[in-house]
Amino acid sequence: MRILHRSAVTALFIMISTAAARGDSLLVGNLANAPFGSDAVDAADARAQGFKTGGRDWNLTSIEAVLGGFNPGGTFAVSAVLAASTTNALGKDVPDVSSPLATFLVPTIDASFATLNFTPMTNFVLKANTEYWFVLTVTAAGGTPFEWQYTYDTAIDSASEGILTSAAATIPPGSGVWVSQPNAPYLIQVMGTPVGAVPEPSSWIIGGLGFSSVFMLVRRRRSAPVAG
């Protein structure tokens, strides 16, 4: 019986911890918009989508992008990084890929398009009122490894605190020169937690219920009659 009680207590603590961890919020996104087309991401064509934070710092937890069209032929490696913003020769904002700010774990990309989650490999704080770029590049031996869907709808989710800026690509292909592509943002969503944010009320309630359950469980265990 003692083992059973300990298992129940452990399960409750896991439930409490999980509930408290569900605090991710939307910084900015446009996944509700209808896709218009998709751009190839291959050895010659790197792609990026810019976004800008609002009036407070955020802990970055994930970035989602709608990718697909996977081509199993050829050998390639996918890189997903967060880059700072710089200006090109035309004075347009583009990603500065010379010193990536963060690197993401790359999920499996399939033939069918899907919203894929990219998780940063280390903790990173997005500074307030700052522009960043989510950059996808490929080292490949021929072919088009995958594609990234874009939209002509420039609206963003109403819950967004930040904004989407511009898309960008290396043009001409293979040049390594970044060119801004306004009015056709890639489908993307940036998630995080505001720095210094308190847990949501629901987390406190669930946590309170969990601790109450633990207390009652322990109390019952202690008050149970001891066999002679």
| pLDDT of 30 higher than 50 | yes
- CATH number of the domain within which 187 lies: 2.60.120
- Give pLDDT, residue 14: 39
In contact, 207 and 16? CB cutoff 8 Å: yes
Reported confidence tier of residue 21, pLDDT bands at 50, 70, 90: very low
Reported confidence tier of residue 13, pLDDT bands at 50, 70, 90: very low
User: pLDDT tens-digit profile of 92-143?
Assistant: 999 999 999 999 999 999 999 999 999 999 999 999 999 999 999 998 766 7
User: pLDDT tens-digit profile of 54-97?
Assistant: 999 999 999 999 999 988 766 778 999 999 999 999 999 999 99
H-helix segments, 134-227: 201-223
Q: Considering only residues 217 and 118, tell me which one the structure prediction assigns the higher pLDDT.
A: 118
Q: Mean pLDDT across the chain, nearest whole number?
A: 82
Give me the domain span that covers residue 65: 23-196
- Asked whether residue 211 is domain-assigned, the answer is no
- Asked whether residue 145 is domain-assigned, the answer is yes
> Domain count of the chain?
1
The Cα–Cα gap between 97 and 122 comes to 18
Q: Considering only residues 207 and 81, tell me which one the structure prediction assigns the higher pLDDT.
A: 81
4-33: average pLDDT: 62
How many alpha carbons lie under 13 Å from residue 54 in its C-beta half-sphere?
14
147-175: average pLDDT: 94
- Asked whether residue 108 is domain-assigned, the answer is yes
CA angle 24, 116, 70 (to 5 degrees): 170
Q: Nearest Cα to 111, choosing from 66, 71, 64?
A: 71
18 sits in the region (left: phi over 0; alpha: psi -120 to 50; else beta) called: alpha
- Asked whether residue 209 is domain-assigned, the answer is no
SS3 181: strand
Whole-model pTM?
Answer: 0.78
